[in-house]
Structure 1
Amino acid sequence: MTDTIPDRLSVDPDSPFYDEALLARGIGIRFKGVEKTNVEEYSISEGWVRVAVGKTLDRRGKPMAMKLQGPVEVWIKDDQAPA
């Protein structure tokens, strides 16, 4: 496993930016100085996060999301050593 954080990552398995192994390790995201736990996707270089909006679903059954612009900080939580 690598400790390189991707520029863009998504929790949607249908997305080309999905990385199951990295998500299993745990990702911490700080947006505008506040740690967020409801981020669906982020882009560090473009400076945005896509966050879930309540429990509302779109017509395909996926959570509705809102794109917010601002500084994004990302780190790997990975408290325990990999087995």
Structure 2
Amino acid sequence: MSETPPDRLSSNPNSPFYDEAVLMRGVGILFNGQEKTNVDEYCVSEGWVRLVAGKALDRQGNPMTIKLKGVVAPYFQSGDAAES
């Protein structure tokens, strides 16, 4: 597996950009210099993230998301950072 996260990744199993192996490894997201923990999907090349918006659900029962544009910097979380 490469040392850089993919350009686009989704945590939704119905998405074509879902990759369970990468998600199990642990991916962190820096969005405009701030760490985000509620990211549902991101795209580095297009510069956007989809964030889960509270507990609201759409008609199909999926979490509602909002799309924000900015600088996206994904990284693999190390074992030490996940524990602290």
* TM-score (normalised: structure 1): 0.91
- Aligned twin of 1:61: 61
RMSD over aligned Cα atoms: 1.1
Residue-by-residue CA offset, 1:51-82 (whole Å, 9 max, x unaligned): 000000000000000000000001011427xx
Residue-by-residue CA offset, 1:25-57 (whole Å, 9 max, x unaligned): 100100011000000000000000000000000
Runs of 4+ in 1 over 3 A off after TM superposition: none
For structure 1, the residue ranges without an aligned partner over 5 or more in a row are: none
Q: Determine if the alignment matches structure 1 residue 28 to structure 2 residue 22.
A: no
- Aligned twin of 2:5: 5
Give the structure with the higher percent helix.
2
Code of the residue aligned with 1:21 in structure 2: it is A
Higher alpha-carbon deviation: 70-79 or 45-54: 70-79
